[in-house]
C-alpha cells in the first residue's frame, strides 16, 4: 500500500534544461489558452504521457527519514524517505554530493482511491488544483515577466503546478532548432529523463516564475497517480507583494551563451543555473568560459592519450556548409565575407531582441484596453499560417488596425525581398554582407563609428512582426542602414557601390508599389518618400519620435517611477498609477486628468496601507506642505534643531526659509512613509543621510563634494520639519544627467551606506528608488561625467585659511595694535620685496611701538631675511658674487642680530611692565595683601606671603 508522501524515487535527470538565449518573444500569446486545458488537464496530461516512450522504473534504495514538509496539511503525514544518491557519497545530497540529489527527490501524492483517509487526505493538493490564490504576473525591471503573490505564503505551502506540453526530448530539440530559436526567455522544465514540459507555446503562470540564486520557492517533482508533475512550493515565509522565484539549477546547453543572472542576491552565481560556480556577475560567466577553455587546453595536452574522450567532450559545433570553389574565389576576391558563415551568423545575430521591449501588453494580448498599443504577438498570429486558427489569430483578423498593419507588412516584405535579391553578374547575392552586424569583438571600431547599428535581418524581422506602421519608419530604417554602410566603408568602396544600387532599386520598388501603398497609407504618401531630402527630414523626425516612444509617466502623485499597475491615457498616451487615480486597470477607455479635467486631492491616500502602518493613522502616498507635494520615496531637506512650542510641538517652519538658510545646514532625509495621526498631525518616517563630516573616516579619505551616506536608522519626523525637495542619486545615474526640475545645489550622490556607528562604509547594492532616466523627466549629458572624489572635510578652504591667518596674526589688543594690525595686513597683501625697495618694517602708530603681536615679529624677521636676500640678489646682479655659504652666513648673522634686538626689546618691555604692576600693587589697600611679583619673575613660582 502506498502511504501518504512516503515514497520517494530518485531521478537522475536535472530539473531544468537551459538553452541558448535567443531573442524575441513569441510564446506568450498562448497564455489565453490555459483555460482550454485546465479542466480536462488530467486527461490531456495522461494523453500526452501516453505518447511518450515508456521508461523502466528507476531502482531506488531508501536510507533516512525526514519530517514532513507540509505544516498545514489536514493530516500530518510524517514519513518522508530519501533515496541514496547515485554519487554514493556519504553526504548523499549534502555538501560534496556531486549529483545534488536533494534537488531531484520525487514526492508522491496520495490517491483518493487507495489512501485510507480518502478525500480527507491533505496530500492530494496537486490533483485538487489547490493553487495559492492571488498570483499575478508583473513586468520586472530586467528579467522580463515575473510572478508576484498578492497574499502572504507560508513555508512549505503548495503554490502552483508548472503546466505545458509534455514532449519528448527529441521533439523538444527539434522545436528548439526550428521554432524557438529566436526566443530570449526559455520555458522548459525537465520532467523525466527523455521528456520535458515545454512551456513556450502553452502554459500557465508557472512558466513566468523567474530564477533566483537565493530563492523563496522550490520546484519539486511529484508522482501523482503514476504521473510525474512539477510543482512549486514555498521554502520560507513569503510576504504579500514579493516575487516568487526558484533555483533553475540547470546545466546550460551552451556554456558560452549562458544567461546572465540578474536576481540581485548577494549570493548570486552570476549565471542562471551553473550551481557549482560561486562567482558573481559577468565574472562567473567569464569563469565558465575560462574553465571550459582550460579544460580544452589540458585535454589538448593529453591529446594522444585521450583523443577519443576529447572529441566526445567538445561541444557540438553548428554544421557549416563547405564553400564551393566559386564562393571561395568570390570571398577571396572581395575580402568581404564567407558564404559558409551566413547561416551561422544569422542564427547568432539576435535582431529582434531590442525591437519589442517586454511590455505589459504581453501579459494579456487580448486586453481590449490595450487595443491601441501594438502587440507583435498579435501580428505574428496574423502572419503565421496555421491549420488550426488560434483565438488570437481570429481576434487579430477582426481588428482593423491590425489588418492594416498586416497588409503593410506584406507590402514591405515584398519590397524587401526585391532588395534582397540584388545579385552580381555571377549570380552572387550582393546584400548578404548587410544581413548581419559586424562582430563586436573583431570589429569593435564599427561600433565606435556607427551610433545606431542596424542590419537587413533586423529590418526583415521588424517587417515580419509588423513593427512598421508607416512607410516613413520602414524607409528611415533602410536609409539608416544605407547611411551606416556608406559612412563605414565609404561610398566608393565595393559595398558603397552596392548601396548605391540598392538606393536606386528601392526608389524603383517604391514607385512600383506606390499605388498599393497609397491605398493603405493615404493618397500621395509614397511620393513624399521618393525625395532624398525629405527622407533625411523624416529620419530626423523619427529620432525625435523614438524619444517620444518612451513611456511617459505623468501621474497626479508627481512620481515618475514605473510602479505597480499603470494605466495609459487614451488621448495623450501618458501613464498614470492606477492606485493614485483610483482605477482598477480594467477600464475600457481612460482619459487622464489633463485630457479630461477633474479635481484630485493632491494628498493621495496610500491604498492598501503598508503592512507596518501606524495604528489609527491614515497613510498617504503624497502629502502637501507649503504648496509642495511630497511623495513617498522623495528626498527632502529637514530642519533638525527647530524651535518648539511650550507643549513640545515643533514651531511651524516654511520652505521659504530655504531661501535664507543654506542647504548645508539642513539634513537630507528619504521619505518612506507619510501619514496623519487621528488628530490630523502629519508625520513622515524614513532614513536620514549623513554628510562626510558626520562619519568616522580616515583623514585622508576623499569624498565627492556633495556626497551623502545612507544610514540604517529609521526616524519619524513631523512634516513641519520638511523644508523642500532635493535628490540623491547613485554615482552612475549622476554621471549620466540630472532629473528635470532640480537645482544643481540640491543634487547629491550616495554610493555607500554607513553602519549604526557611522564607522563602516558598505557599498549600496540595491537602489530602492531608482531614478527614471527617460527623456521626459531626465536631462542627459552629452558625455558621461568622469567623477573623482577630491573633497576632504578636513581641509580648510583656501579663502578661510587666509582669513584665519589674518585673524590670529592680527588680534590687536588696543587701538594702537589694531592700527598696527591693519598696516600689517596691507603689507601682507604685498609680500614680495623688490630689490632696492625699502622692505616693510614694523611700523608704529604715532611713533609708539606695537606690543604683543608675535605675528608681527615673525613677519619682521621674515621681512629682514627677505631684505637681506634682496640685497644679496642686488649684489649678485651688480657682479659682487657671493658664494652660497657666504649668503647662508650672512642670513644667519642677520637672524642672530635680530634675535638679540628682540631679546633686548622684550627685557625693556618687561621692566616697564614690572614697574607699572609693582606700583599698582602698592596702591592696593588691605591687610592680607598678596605678593604677586613672583609672577613677574621668570624662574620662581613660589607664592610669597606678605609680611607687614
Ligand atoms: C521561465 S522564463 C521566466 C519568465 C520570463 N521572465 C518571461 O518574461 O517570460 C525564464 C527566462 O526568464 C529570464 N530570467 C528568469 N530569471 C532570471 C534571472 N534571475 N536573471 C535574468 N533573467 C532571468 C531568462 O530569460 C529565462 O530564460
Q: Which residue has the higher pLDDT, 852 or 460?
A: 460
Q: 23-32, 681-690, 880-889: which range is least confident on average?
A: 23-32
pLDDT score for 510: 82
Q: 275-289, 455-469, 851-865: which range is least confident on average?
A: 275-289
pLDDT score for 669: 93
| Among the listed residues 684, 649, 648, the one whose alpha carbon sits nearest the alpha carbon of residue 667 | 684
3-state secondary structure string, 522-538? CCCHHHHCCCHHHHHHH
Q: 57-66, 355-364, 705-714: which range is least confident on average?
A: 57-66
Within 522-597, residue ranges assigned H as helices are 525-528, 532-548, 578-581
Grouping H, G, I as helix, E, B as strand and the rest as coil, residue 398 is helix
Query: 220 CA distance to ligand 1 centroid (A)?
Result: 19
Residue 364 CB coordination number (10 Å)? 16
pLDDT score for 928: 61
Instruction: Give pairs for 780-786: CB < 8 Å, separation 24+.
Output: 780/736, 780/737, 781/735, 781/736, 781/737, 784/735, 784/736, 785/734, 785/735, 785/736, 786/735
pLDDT score for 223: 82
Q: Which residue has the higher pLDDT, 762 or 571?
A: 762
Ligand 1 in contact with 186 (CB < 6 A)? yes
Nine cell digits for residue 200 = 513556450
Mean pLDDT of 761-785: 85
pLDDT score for 752: 92
pLDDT score for 766: 79
Residue in 148, 162, 185 to alter for ligand 1 test, most ligand atoms within 8 A of Cβ: 185
Q: 154-168, 217-231, 333-347: which range is least confident on average?
A: 333-347
The pair phi, psi for residue 404, each rounded to 5°, is -65, -45
d(CA 80, CA 99): 20
Mean pLDDT of 420-444: 83
d(CA 116, CA 107): 18
H or E segment and range at residue 691: none
Residue in 137, 144, 148 to alter for ligand 1 test, most ligand atoms within 8 A of Cβ: 144
Query: How does pLDDT run across 165-218, given as a tens digit for each residue?
Result: 888 888 888 888 777 777 778 888 887 767 888 888 888 889 899 989 889 998
| Among the listed residues 436, 443, 18, the one whose alpha carbon sits nearest the alpha carbon of residue 256 | 18
pLDDT score for 706: 92
Nearest atom in ligand 1 to the alpha carbon of residue 261 is 20
Q: Where are the beta strands (DSSP E) in 150-302?
A: 158-161, 165-168, 188-192, 195-198, 210-211, 217-224, 227-234, 245-246, 251-252
Q: Which residue has the higher pLDDT, 21 or 692?
A: 692
Within 268-369, residue ranges assigned H as helices are 281-301, 303-313, 325-334, 342-348
Integer CA distances (angstroms), 282 to 245, 262, 269, 290, 411, in order: 21, 10, 10, 12, 43
Given a cut of 60, whether residue 481 has pLDDT beyond it is: yes
Given a cut of 90, whether residue 675 has pLDDT beyond it is: yes
C-alpha atoms less than 13 angstroms from C-alpha of 469 in its C-beta half-sphere: 10
Nine cell digits for residue 584 = 482598477
Nine cell digits for residue 673 = 512613509
| Among the listed residues 496, 510, 347, 481, the one whose alpha carbon sits nearest the alpha carbon of residue 418 | 510
By the 10 Å C-beta count (0-12 exposed, 13-18 middle, 19+ buried), 116 is classed as exposed
pLDDT score for 643: 57
Ligand 1 atom 4 nearest Cα: 208
Nine cell digits for residue 693 = 563630516
Nine cell digits for residue 175 = 522545436
Helix axes 456-464, 400-420, angle to 10 degrees: 150
Mean pLDDT of 493-517: 83
Given a cut of 50, whether residue 44 has pLDDT beyond it is: no
Ligand 1 in contact with 187 (CB < 6 A)? yes
d(CA 90, CA 56): 27
Q: Which residue has the higher pLDDT, 539 or 10?
A: 539
Q: Which residue has the higher pLDDT, 502 or 28?
A: 502
Angle, alpha carbons 171-346-386 (nearest 5°)? 45
Residue 6 CB coordination number (10 Å)? 18
Which residue has 481612460 as its cell numbers?
A: 590
Nine cell digits for residue 799 = 579663502
Residue in 20, 210, 262, 365 to alter for ligand 1 test, most ligand atoms within 8 A of Cβ: 210
Mean pLDDT of 675-702: 90
pLDDT score for 726: 93
pLDDT score for 929: 61
H or E segment and range at residue 36: helix 34-38
Query: 348 CA distance to ligand 1 centroid (A)?
Result: 20
pLDDT score for 945: 52
Which residue has 482550454 as its cell numbers?
A: 36
Query: How does pLDDT run across 613-643, given as a tens digit for each residue?
Result: 878 889 999 999 888 899 999 999 988 665 5
pLDDT score for 201: 81
Ligand 1 in contact with 143 (CB < 6 A)? yes
Mean pLDDT of 410-426: 86
The pair phi, psi for residue 238, each rounded to 5°, is -115, 125
Ligand 1 in contact with 145 (CB < 6 A)? yes
Given a cut of 80, whether residue 771 has pLDDT beyond it is: yes
DSSP letter (8 states) at residue 260: B
Helix axes 376-383, 400-420, angle to 10 degrees: 70
C-alpha atoms less than 13 angstroms from C-alpha of 565 in its C-beta half-sphere: 17
Mean pLDDT of 108-122: 79
Ligand 1 in contact with 574 (CB < 6 A)? no
pLDDT score for 619: 92
Query: How does pLDDT run across 287-320, given as a tens digit for each residue?
Result: 433 444 444 333 334 333 334 443 333 333 334 4
By the 10 Å C-beta count (0-12 exposed, 13-18 middle, 19+ buried), 434 is classed as buried
Q: Where are the beta strands (DSSP E) in 839-943?
A: 930-931
Query: How does pLDDT run across 790-819, given as a tens digit for each residue?
Result: 888 887 766 666 655 555 554 444 444 444
H or E segment and range at residue 169: helix 169-178
Given a cut of 50, whether residue 855 has pLDDT beyond it is: no
The mean of the pLDDT values for the chain is: 67
Confidence of residue 467 (pLDDT cuts 50, 70, 90): confident
Contacts of 266 (CB under 8 A, 6+ apart): 214, 765
Query: How does pLDDT run across 139-169, given as a tens digit for each residue?
Result: 888 888 999 999 999 998 999 998 888 888 8
Report percent pLDDT > 70 for the chain.
56
Residue in 15, 259, 269 to alter for ligand 1 test, most ligand atoms within 8 A of Cβ: 259
Query: 144 CA distance to ligand 1 centroid (A)?
Result: 6
Mean pLDDT of 847-868: 43
Report percent pLDDT > 90 for the chain.
11
Q: Name 870's bridge partners.
A: none
pLDDT score for 657: 52
Q: Where are the beta strands (DSSP E) in 586-649?
A: 618-620, 622-625, 628-631, 635-638
Helix, strand, coil % over all residues of the chain, rounded to 5: 35, 15, 45
C-beta separation of 685 from 716 below 8 A: yes
pLDDT score for 528: 62
- Its ipTM equals 0.99
Angle, alpha carbons 922-927-932 (nearest 5°)? 45
Q: Which residue has the higher pLDDT, 458 or 469?
A: 458
Tell me the residue length of the chain: 948
Given a cut of 80, whether residue 238 has pLDDT beyond it is: yes
Nine cell digits for residue 568 = 495609459
pLDDT score for 388: 33
DSSP letter (8 states) at residue 87: T
C-beta separation of 66 from 82 below 8 A: yes
pLDDT score for 666: 85
pLDDT score for 244: 94
Query: How does pLDDT run across 541-561, given as a tens digit for each residue?
Result: 544 444 445 678 888 888 988
Given a cut of 70, whether residue 727 has pLDDT beyond it is: yes
Mean pLDDT of 744-751: 92
| Among the listed residues 378, 408, 416, the one whose alpha carbon sits nearest the alpha carbon of residue 396 | 378
Q: Name 717's bridge partners.
A: 684
Mean pLDDT of 105-117: 76
Ligand 1 atom 22 nearest Cα: 143
Given a cut of 70, whether residue 836 has pLDDT beyond it is: no
* Measured torsion, CA atoms of residues 637, 762, 241, 614, in degrees rounded to the nearest 10: -50
d(CA 748, CA 705): 9
Contacts of 68 (CB under 8 A, 6+ apart): 5, 76, 77, 78, 79, 80
Contacts of 777 (CB under 8 A, 6+ apart): 553, 560, 739, 740
Ligand 1 in contact with 246 (CB < 6 A)? no
Ligand 1 in contact with 259 (CB < 6 A)? yes
* Measured torsion, CA atoms of residues 770, 772, 777, 783, in degrees rounded to the nearest 10: 100
Mean pLDDT of 867-891: 51
Integer CA distances (angstroms), 818 to 149, 178, 826, in order: 77, 94, 12
C-beta separation of 585 from 639 below 8 A: no
Residue in 215, 267, 272 to alter for ligand 1 test, most ligand atoms within 8 A of Cβ: 272
Confidence of residue 926 (pLDDT cuts 50, 70, 90): low
Mean pLDDT of 381-394: 40
Ligand 1 in contact with 261 (CB < 6 A)? yes
DSSP 98-118: TT-GGGGEEEEEPPTTT-TTG
Given a cut of 70, whether residue 260 has pLDDT beyond it is: yes
Confidence of residue 232 (pLDDT cuts 50, 70, 90): very high
The pair phi, psi for residue 503, each rounded to 5°, is -60, -50
Amino acid at each position: 500500500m502506498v502511504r501518504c508522501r512516503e515514497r520517494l524515487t530518485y531521478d537522475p535527470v536535472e530539473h531544468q534544461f537551459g538553452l541558448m538565449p535567443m531573442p524575441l518573444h513569441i510564446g506568450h500569446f498562448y497564455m489565453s489558452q490555459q483555460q482550454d486545458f485546465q479542466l480536462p488537464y488530467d486527461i490531456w496530461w495522461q494523453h500526452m504521457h501516453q505518447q511518450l516512450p515508456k521508461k523502466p522504473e528507476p531502482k531506488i534504495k531508501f536510507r533516512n527519514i525526514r519530517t514532513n514538509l507540509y505544516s498545514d496539511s489536514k493530516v500530518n503525514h510524517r514519513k518522508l524517505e530519501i533515496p541514496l544518491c547515485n554519487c554514493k557519497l556519504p553526504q548523499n545530497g549534502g555538501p560534496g554530493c556531486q549529483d545534488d540529489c536533494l534537488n531531484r527527490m520525487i514526492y508522491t501524492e496520495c490517491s483518493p482511491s487507495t489512501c485510507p483517509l480518502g478525500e480527507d487526505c491533505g496530500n492530494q493538493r496537486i490533483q485538487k488544483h489547490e493553487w495559492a490564490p492571488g498570483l499575478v504576473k508583473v513586468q520586472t525591471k530586467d528579467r522580463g515577466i515575473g510572478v508576484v503573490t498578492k497574499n502572504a505564503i507560508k513555508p512549505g505551502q503548495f503554490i502552483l503546478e508548472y503546466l505545458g506540453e509534455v514532449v519528448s526530448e527529441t521533439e523538444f530539440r527539434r522545436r528548439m532548432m526550428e521554432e524557438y530559436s529566436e526566443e530570449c526567455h526559455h520555458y522548459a522544465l525537465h520532467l523525466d529523463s527523455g521528456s520535458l514540459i515545454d512551456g513556450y507555446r502553452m502554459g500557465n503562470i508557472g512558466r513566468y516564475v523567474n530564477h533566483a540564486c537565493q530563492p523563496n520557492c522550490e520546484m519539486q517533482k511529484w508522482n501523482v497517480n503514476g504521473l510525474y508533475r512539477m510543482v512549486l512550493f514555498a521554502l520560507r515565509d513569503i510576504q504579500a507583494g514579493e516575487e516568487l522565484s526558484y533555483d533553475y539549477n540547470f546545466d546550460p546547453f551552451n556554456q558560452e551563451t549562458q544567461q546572465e543572472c540578474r536576481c540581485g542576491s548577494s549570493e548570486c552565481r552570476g549565471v542562471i543555473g551553473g550551481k557549482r560556480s560561486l562567482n558573481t556577475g559577468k565574472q562567473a560567466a567569464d569563469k565558465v568560459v575560462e574553465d571550459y577553455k582550460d579544460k580544452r587546453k589540458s585535454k589538448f595536452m593529453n591529446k594522444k592519450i585521450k583523443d577519443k574522450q576529447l572529441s566526445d567532450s567538445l561541444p557540438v559545433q553548428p554544421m557549416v556548409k563547405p564553400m564551393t570553389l566559386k564562393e571561395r574565389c568570390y570571398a577571396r576576391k572581395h575580402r568581404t565575407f564567407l558564404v559558409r558563415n551566413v547561416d551561422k551568423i544569422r542564427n547568432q545575430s539576435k535582431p529582434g531582441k531590442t525591437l519589442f521591449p517586454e511590455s505589459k501588453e504581453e501579459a494579456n494580448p487580448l486586453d481590449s484596453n490595450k487595443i491601441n498599443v501594438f502587440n507583435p504577438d498579435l501580428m505574428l498570429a496574423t502572419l503565421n499560417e496555421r491549420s488550426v486558427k488560434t483565438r488570437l489569430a481570429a481576434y487579430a483578423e477582426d481588428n482593423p488596425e491590425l489588418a492594416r498593419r498586416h497588409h503593410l507588412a506584406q507590402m514591405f516584405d515584398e519590397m524587401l525581398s526585391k532588395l534582397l535579391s540584388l545579385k552580381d553578374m555571377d549570380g552572387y547575392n550582393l546584400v548578404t554582407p548587410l544581413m548581419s552586424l559586424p562582430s563586436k569583438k573583431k570589429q569593435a571600431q564599427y561600433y565606435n563609428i556607427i551610433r545606431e547599428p542596424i542590419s537587413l535581418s533586423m529590418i526583415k524581422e521588424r517587417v515580419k512582426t509588423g513593427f512598421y506602421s508607416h512607410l516613413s519608419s520602414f524607409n528611415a530604417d533602410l536609409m539608416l542602414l544605407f547611411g551606416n554602410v556608406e559612412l563605414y566603408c565609404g561610398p566608393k568602396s565595393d559595398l558603397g557601390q552596392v548601396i548605391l544600387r540598392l538606393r536606386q532599386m528601392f526608389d524603383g520598388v517604391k514607385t512600383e508599389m506606390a499605388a498599393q501603398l497609397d491605398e493603405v497609407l493615404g493618397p500621395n504618401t509614397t511620393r513624399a518618400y521618393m525625395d532624398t531630402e525629405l527622407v533625411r527630414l523624416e529620419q530626423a523626425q523619427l529620432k525625435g519620435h523614438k524619444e517620444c516612444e518612451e513611456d511617459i509617466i505623468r501621474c497626479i502623485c508627481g512620481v515618475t517611477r514605473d510602479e505597480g499597475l499603470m494605466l495609459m491615457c487614451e488621448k495623450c498616451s501618458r501613464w498614470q498609477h492606477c492606485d493614485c487615480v483610483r482605477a482598477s486597470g480594467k477600464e475600457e477607455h481612460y482619459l487622464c486628468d489633463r485630457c479630461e479635467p477633474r479635481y484630485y486631492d493632491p494628498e493621495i491616500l496610500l491604498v492598501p496601507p503598508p503592512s507596518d502602518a501606524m495604528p489609527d493613522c491614515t497613510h498617504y502616498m503624497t502629502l502637501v506642505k507649503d504648496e509642495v507635494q511630497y511623495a513617498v520615496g522623495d528626498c527632502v531637506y529637514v530642519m533638525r534643531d527647530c524651535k518648539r512650542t511650550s507643549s513640545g510641538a515643533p514651531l511651524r517652519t516654511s520652505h521659504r526659509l530655504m531661501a535664507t538658510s543654506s542647504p548645508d545646514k539642513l539634513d537630507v532625509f528619504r521619505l518612506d512613509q507619510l501619514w496623519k495621526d487621528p488628530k490630523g498631525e502629519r508625520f513622515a518616517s524614513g532614513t536620514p543621510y549623513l554628510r562626510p563630516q558626520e562619519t568616522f573616516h580616515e583623514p585622508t579619505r576623499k569624498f565627492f563634494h556633495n556626497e551623502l551616506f545612507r544610514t540604517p536608522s529609521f526616524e519619524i519626523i513631523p512634516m513641519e520639519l520638511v523644508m523642500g525637495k532635493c535628490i540623491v542619486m547613485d554615482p552612475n545615474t549622476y554621471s549620466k544627467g540630472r532629473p528635470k526640475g532640480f537645482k544643481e545645489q540640491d543634487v547629491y550622490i550616495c554610493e555607500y551606506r554607513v553602519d549604526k556607528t557611522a564607522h563602516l562604509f558598505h557599498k549600496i547594492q540595491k537602489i530602492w528608488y531608482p531614478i527614471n532616466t527617460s527623456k521626459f523627466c531626465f536631462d542627459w549629458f552629452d558625455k558621461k561625467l568622469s567623477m573623482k572624489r577630491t573633497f576632504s572635510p578636513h581641509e580648510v578652504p583656501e579663502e578661510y585659511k587666509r582669513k584665519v591667518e589674518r585673524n590670529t596674526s592680527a588680534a590687536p589688543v588696543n587701538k594702537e595694535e589694531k592700527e598696527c594690525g591693519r598696516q600689517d595686513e596691507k603689507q601682507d597683501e604685498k609680500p614680495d620685496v623688490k630689490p632696492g625697495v625699502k622692505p616693510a618694517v614694523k611700523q608704529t602708530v604715532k611713533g609708539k611701538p606695537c606690543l604683543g603681536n608675535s605675528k608681527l615679529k615673525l613677519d619682521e624677521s621674515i621681512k629682514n631675511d627677505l631684505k637681506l636676500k634682496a640685497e644679496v640678489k642686488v649684489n649678485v646682479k651688480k657682479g659682487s658674487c657671493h658664494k652660497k655659504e657666504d649668503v647662508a652666513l650672512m642670513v644667519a648673522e642677520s637672524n642672530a642680530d635680530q634675535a638679540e634686538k628682540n631679546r633686548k626689546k622684550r627685557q625693556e618691555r618687561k621692566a616697564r611692565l614690572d614697574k607699572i604692576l609693582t606700583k599698582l600693587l602698592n596702591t592696593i589697600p588691605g591687610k592680607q595683601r598678596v605678593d604677586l611679583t613672583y609672577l613677574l619673575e621668570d624662574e620662581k613660582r613660589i607664592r610669597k606671603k606678605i609680611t607687614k
